Structure 1
């Protein structure tokens, strides 16, 4: 492991994501709160803030010169007086996971909590090192007790180098109702993608992990599709037309968050479709960086809806439309089908957007 680039970064990221996943799982299971509203009316919970604080504090303890592109800030913590509630949960997980406090550090007071959350204010870009963090990707799934993920990626000079995704509720085998749930998915640029049971202790040498691959040998007739749950996040109408044109007969599995990337990388699906409902919408980098690397390192391909590479050095958003993740075998066929429907440059895309 010491010979692999970014081995320390990978280990710290795995430990931090695992700790944040344990925290959010406890909060979700106990239904401690129903969520409060951001200014844009989307739900946010104590879990978001606690997870963001834990991960950022852990990263900056080990790499103090790095920056973080995070989703949250502390304004709601302060206005809603959530400090004590969040600290109670953070203290609990630090005690449960105390073996790694020397590596990850601890958060011991309200000022440290808020300062950690607010250090996720990087603008990203093409130069230097920064981490893209989504403390709870799929907050609505989290509130439903369904799928969500803790997502963290290291981006160096605009290139994603490390990705870690914690999936507390995702079955190890998506279509096996009796499958054990909870895992950590890790990828290192040029060195593959890996799965580990969330209950297992993270090992820097990957001894407790297994390498994962997707099914590039599958043709269209064998293809399984994953899509988002929320119709407001992607165009289910356009995605249905693409599946019809490709001749895909198997029903899609609808999942919240970047667990869809995990399903593809783990060989539980061959296609992930995310087509825009608004021609002006641009995806946030924290919603895709970890999953992009995971699928690519598992042997797949991820691009925008026209087959262009995703640019994680543009800033906090991707300057492109839609996201397609799939096996390398199927990817050209999917892009061709999309262009037949919306045009080579999206000339007809407006028909499917509101």
Structure 2
């Protein structure tokens, strides 16, 4: 039903992934950080370039669609040198990926780049077709040359229908990292979740590898994914939950929605993201693509109380934290969480 949208999303995410991979490798090699936002999280040329590439292609293919994006062009308009650097990187990847220039819309000027970036100003909502975009998810991993992801999802009337995630540095096998790295993960409602090599020609879904979560492991043999940064989730509370469930394996710590990707292909069975702030609400672009990837691979995603995530609420989810897990484990995890923080989270503040 969404075959045209899937193809466009795959091509755009791949192009943005090639660009951001190049920049990430350069930054990591010279250990230079990015530009500082007001919230002190780094912004890089890659954010602006990736957002403009993807939104420009969406707007040309589906002109009436809206996009919820993370960035705006104000910084570029104030800094011509930065803007020219962004355009330079875009022109590089358009040349490197020129086989797909006929399918993706090209950017040739700073004005076009800024217009594309500002096309991500949608407030979201329950009506219509809205794309949720995170041009670089896992910025600190990006700056370290470690895990990051380019994430794009199509939401129709508040429900995620398509999700595509590019993970340039994710190993083919988390247990054997010598096998290579780079994955393109795709999910469409009712069609399933699929995986292929990010750096090879994109295949039709039916010709790529269908992936499923492992719904047979118990807590004493399952594997857990958590974030790297302790500022993003409560590792202490997550440790209590793992102890209560008698989980024995050491967690795999990954930046970005690469955690969703790892679960979807059976590298792990649980993803824990317990909040560090009772008032914090997750952004929809941080979870929309991962949400459908897990669902279509046979798992469950919810907030920490077991409620489904609502992607029609606006730019933010009106819920606390994230629990993604295989179907046979999810309900017991929610029970464990509630036994520690209370059924309504009345004791949550004790642990954050």
Q: TM-score, normalised by structure 2?
A: 0.97
- Paired position in structure 1 for 2:282: 283
Offset at 1:194? 0.2
Residues in 1 aligned to 2:33 and 2:113: alpha-carbon distance in whole angstroms: 21
Q: In the alignment, is residue 110 of structure 1 matched against residue 110 of structure 2?
A: yes
Do structure 1's residue 320 and structure 2's residue 319 form an aligned pair? yes
Between the aligned partners of 1:338 and 1:105, the Cα distance in structure 2 is: 46
* Partner residue in 1 for 2:158: 158
1:274 correspondence with 2:270: no
Partner in structure 1 of residue 10 of structure 2: 14
- Tell me if structure 1 keeps the 8 A contact 2:52–2:113: yes
In the TM superposition, residue 113 of structure 1 has moved relative to its aligned partner by 0.3
Secondary structure, counterpart of 2:153 in structure 1: strand
Residue 178 of structure 1 aligns to a residue whose secondary structure is helix
Which residue does 1:233 correspond to in 2? Answer: 232
Runs of 4+ deviating beyond 3 Å:
none
Residues 49-93 of structure 1 show CA distances to partners (whole Å, capped at 9, x for unaligned) of: 000000001111110110100001111122233111011110010
Q: SS of the counterpart of 2:67?
A: strand
Offset from partner CA, 1:139-168 (integer Å, 9 cap, x none): 110000000000000000000000000000
Distance 1:262 1:205 in 2: 16
CA offset digits 1:101-151 (Å, max 9, x no partner): 121110000000001001100000000001000000001100000000000
Q: 1:196 is matched with which residue?
A: 196
How far the C-alpha of 1:100 sits from its partner, in A, is 1.3
Matches of 2:320 and 2:33 in 1, distance apart? 32
Question: C-alpha displacement at 1:302, in angstroms?
Answer: 0.2
Deviation at 1:205, TM superposition (A): 4.8
Tell me the SS of whatever aligns to 1:221: coil
Paired residues of 2:194 and 2:205 also in contact (CA < 8 A): no
Task: Name the Cα RMSD after superposition.
Answer: 0.9
Residue of structure 1 equivalent to 2:93: 93
CA pair 205-237 structure 1, distance change in 2 beyond 3 A:
closer
Give the structure 1 partner of residue 62 of structure 2: 63
What is the CA distance between 1:206 and its match in structure 2? 4.0
> Number of aligned pairs?
348
Where do residues 1-80 of structure 1 align in structure 2 (5 Å cutoff)? 5-31=1-27, 34-80=33-79
Q: Give the Cα–Cα distance (whole angstroms) in 1 for the partners of residues 4 and 158 of structure 2.
A: 20
For residues 183-217 of structure 1, the C-alpha deviation after alignment (integer angstroms, 9 at most, x for no partner) is 1000001110000101111133542x100011101
Correspondence for 2:213 = 214
Q: Take 1:74 and 1:41, find their aligned partners in 2: how far apart are those partners?
A: 18
Change (3 A) 1:262 1:80: same
Alignment correspondent of 1:329? 328
Q: How many Å apart are 1:177 and its aligned residue?
A: 2.3
Deviation string 1:272-301 (CA, Å, 9 cap, x unpaired) is 000001000000000000000001100000
What displacement does 1:269 show? Answer: 0.4
Taking the aligned partners of 1:14 and 1:152, their CA distance within structure 2 comes to 9
Structure 2 unpaired stretches of 5+: none
Q: Deviations over 1:254-287 (max 9, x none)?
A: 1100000001001000000000010000000000
Separation in 2, partners of 1:301, 1:124 = 23
CA distance in structure 2 between the aligned counterparts of 1:55 and 1:285, rounded to whole angstroms: 17
Could you state the TM-score of these two structures normalised by the residue count of structure 1? Answer: 0.97
CA distance in 2, matches of 1:319, 1:274: 15
- What's 1:167 paired with? 167
Alignment match, 1:252 = 251
* Matched residue SS, 1:346: coil
Which stretch of the first structure deviates more once superposed, 175-184 or 123-132?
A: 175-184
Between the aligned partners of 1:29 and 1:41, the Cα distance in structure 2 is: 22
